[in-house]
Amino acid sequence: MVTGKKIVDEVSGYLRVFEDGTVDRTWTGPPEFGFLMEPVSPHEEFIDGVAVRDQTIEPKSGLAVRIYIPGNDHDVHSTGQLPVILHFHGGGYCISQPDMYMYYHYYTRLVRSAQAICVSVYLRRAPEHKLPAPSEDAYAAFLWLRAIARGDLSDQWITSYADFRRIYLVGDSTGGNLVHQVAARAGADDIEPLRIGGGVAIHPGFLRAEPSKSFLELPDNPLLTREMVNKFMSFALPVGSTKDHPITCPMGPQAPPLAALKLCPMLVMVAELDLLRDSELEYCEEMKKAGKEVEVLMNHGMGHSFYFNKIAIDMDPETATHAQKIIDEIISFMKRN
């Protein structure tokens, strides 16, 4: 942890901004949760049926991805047989990285269960990089997949095993917002030979400048408090913007009309006790009104991003059941689309 410098702003436990503009993201919250924030090194050998590799995809900018592949024996995979999950992490555009244990423990489960490749993007973060920086990174990773599919680039795992007609966008929290953004941009682009089967937004970070009833009335959750939302948005939004920004509020008046967008089928997962519940449900309703294909799964009795809390998963059978249901529903959605 950086010391000896004056802190000018912070989000308790997660992030401190210093007067010289530097940022410290060392976890300073309850120590028992610290392991969730620790990085997991890549391993190209298979551990519990999954191998993991980090790859720089834009040498000039340094943009990188973490790639997961299932199977102890590559011979079980015929060429081009594995669907690809393009994953966007959450963290309010300010914290988190794909190598954190909280993502590793859950996405290795998904990769193993779905028998899918996962490409998770190391998104630029605020306050150093405000919106739309992470959205640009997310789409750059999508275009990297397109370049591999076209034979313009090569990757040892993706070139060999990816089924480019089965691309699925998956995002957690604010990463769910990027699912919408990438789907919308892809719908207006020539993405051949890629095909996006669908998008999965898990507890997406949809917001309005006018707080919703759930945001005002539901209790704070350890993984999402009102302070976190408001501070992260103050760091991430461009100067002069409000939470009605098109990325934070894609169903709002500042965003392109949903009806005008060419979008893939969407699955939106909503936690019943999430502060963002009502704005997530509003997005789903507006999507339906616009004639878009959207499914909603409600995680009853659960809070925002509960499935990353491995302590709760290990200790509480109900949390474990709901966490497994998310994986099951993603796999079912992928099979249908």
pLDDT in tens, 74-103: 454 555 699 999 999 999 999 999 999 999
In-domain check, residue 114: yes
Picking from 184, 208, 179, 200, the residue whose alpha carbon sits closest to that of residue 294 is 200
Considering only residues 73 and 41, tell me which one the structure prediction assigns the higher pLDDT: 41
pLDDT digits (tens, 9 = 90+) for 269-316: 999 999 999 999 999 999 999 999 999 999 999 999 999 999 999 999
| 268 vs 280: CA distance, rounded Å | 8
To the nearest 10 degrees (0 to 180), the angle between helices 317-336 and 101-114 is 50
Residue 115's CATH number: 3.40.50.1820
Q: What is the pLDDT of residue 3?
A: 60
Q: What is the reported pLDDT for 77?
A: 57
Residues 17-26: contacts with CB under 8 Å, at least 24 apart: 17/127, 17/235, 21/128, 23/127, 23/128, 25/95, 26/1, 26/2
Over residues 12-22, mean pLDDT? 94
Q: What is the pLDDT of residue 332?
A: 98
Cβ(50)–Cβ(70) below 8 Å: yes
pLDDT at 143 over 60: yes
Res 2: pLDDT: 47
Residue 26 lies in a domain: no
Neighbouring residues of 318: CB distance < 8 A, sequence distance ≥ 6: 301
Domains identified in the chain, total number: 1
The mean-pLDDT minimum among 129-143, 219-233, 319-333 falls in 219-233
Instruction: Report if residue 8 sits inside a domain.
Output: no
pLDDT of residue 79: 58
The neighbouring-strand residues paired with 100 are: 39
Range of the domain at 320: 31-336
174 within 8 A of 126, measured Cβ to Cβ: no
Q: Is residue 226 part of a domain?
A: yes
CA distance 241 to 80: 43
Amino acid 222: pLDDT? 81
Q: What pTM does this model have?
A: 0.96
* Residue 232 placed within a domain: yes
Strand order in the sheet with 43-47: 43-47, 50-58, 63-70, 117-121, 82-88, 162-172, 196-202, 266-271, 294-299
Domain membership of residue 88 (yes or no) is yes
Considering the chain, what is the average pLDDT of its residues?
95
Q: Residue 6: inside a domain, yes or no?
A: no
Residue 18 lies in a domain: no
Q: What is the mean pLDDT of residues 146-162?
A: 96
**What letter represents residue 262's amino acid?**
K
> How far is residue 32's CA from residue 195's CA, in Å, rounded to a whole number?
42
pLDDT average, residue stretch 59-64: 96
